[in-house]
Amino acid sequence: MNRNDIAAALESTFGDRVERDAALGDLTTYRVGGRASIRVRAESASELETIGKLIAGSDTPFAVLGRGSNLLVADEGFDGIVVTLGEGLASIAIAGTTVRSGGAAPLPVVARRTAAAGLTGFEWAVGVPGSIGGAVRMNAGGHGSDMAQSLVRVSVVNLATGDQAQLSLAELELGFRSSALGRSLVVTEAELALAVGDRERAEAEISDIVRWRRENQPGGANAGSVFVNPRPDSAGRLVDEAGAKGMRYGSAEVSTKHANFIQVDDGGSANDVAALMAAVRAQVHEHTGVDLHAETHVLGFAPEIAAAAGARRVEDRD
């Protein structure tokens, strides 16, 4: 099917959960960027399967947008289909020390719910404003832990084929801010194994993490850490050493509070952020010889712009 046929089929199946010429910027924490040709919201794994079967065999580009906490959408938007996950895929079920969480569940909510249930091992996630699915994809982490420490298995839907599958922890091949999940695979549920803990202690740790982040990281429109730490070093330290802290390009600025954050002015430009990412990378490489790679993913940008920013394009299937 061509793009119009797919849009019509989606509208026939999902009704008002399909939007043409849909705004994307407000769905990201940068709060900038353009529009998608088509946006559709799925509320279950079976609905994702239906979407995948409609997309299968088409050359129409597609992308999945979670909570948008590490995504930069080009000002020109994305000429394709964007799939978002609804509340039906954000459930959280706790039985003993086993937690089953929908792919759209916010990490801070899962952290607080598990702490309130007297479990420990997921407190770190309160400071990460992403979803469970996104956290699996990039093996998100912080404060000495990451997803690999508690993840058991995930359920996925392949949007390129419409097939469902389960993947074990070993099959996910989680590494430092990386996994083997291809771009077409959408996490619909994750199973976590936590440990019995003390509720008051867990909730106190959550409060400490929230306080630390407020004191050490900037607010405003940003997407968290821009560049992956080149272990054992720190990307923020390298940016600072290279003299790029506080660097500005148009409406985007490297935070003066934490050099691995970029903030955008109200009504700013996503293209300014990408240009600033490229400028920071170039300056760091010139001064330190280190080639930084972005944690931030991009959507709708030309390949050469994404490459200059050190970022992967969400729409590139692998």
The DSSP code for 150 is T
Cβ burial 197-224 (10 Å sphere, 16+ → b, else e) = beeeebbebbeebeeebeeebeeebbbb
What pLDDT does residue 57 have?
Answer: 79
304 and 229 together in one domain = yes
Report the chain (318 residues): mean pLDDT per 10 consecutive residues: 90 97 97 98 98 90 94 97 97 98 98 98 96 96 95 97 96 94 95 98 98 94 95 96 98 98 97 98 98 97 98 87
What pLDDT does residue 58 have?
Answer: 85
Q: Is residue 270 a part of any domain in this protein?
A: yes
From 153, 177, 248, 312, active-site residue: 177
Domain CATH number, residue 71:
3.30.43.10
Last residue of a domain, one of 31, 53, 87: 87
Last residue of a domain, one of 68, 87, 106: 87
From 123, 205, 253, 295, active-site residue: 295
Cis bond upstream, residue 303 (ω within 30): no
What pLDDT does residue 318 have?
Answer: 61
Residue 255 known to be catalytic = no
Please say whether the beta carbons of 106 and 69 come within 8 A. Answer: no
Residue 183 known to be catalytic = no
80 and 95 together in one domain = no
Give the CB-side neighbour count of residue 205, counting CA atoms within 13 A: 23
264 and 211 together in one domain = no
Domain residues for the domain of 15 are 3-87
Q: Is residue 300 a part of any domain in this protein?
A: yes
pLDDT digits (tens, 9 = 90+) for 232-267: 999 999 999 999 999 999 999 999 999 999 999 999
Last residue of a domain, one of 26, 61, 87: 87
71 and 46 together in one domain = yes
Residue 150 known to be catalytic = no
Please say whether the beta carbons of 35 and 24 come within 8 A. Answer: yes
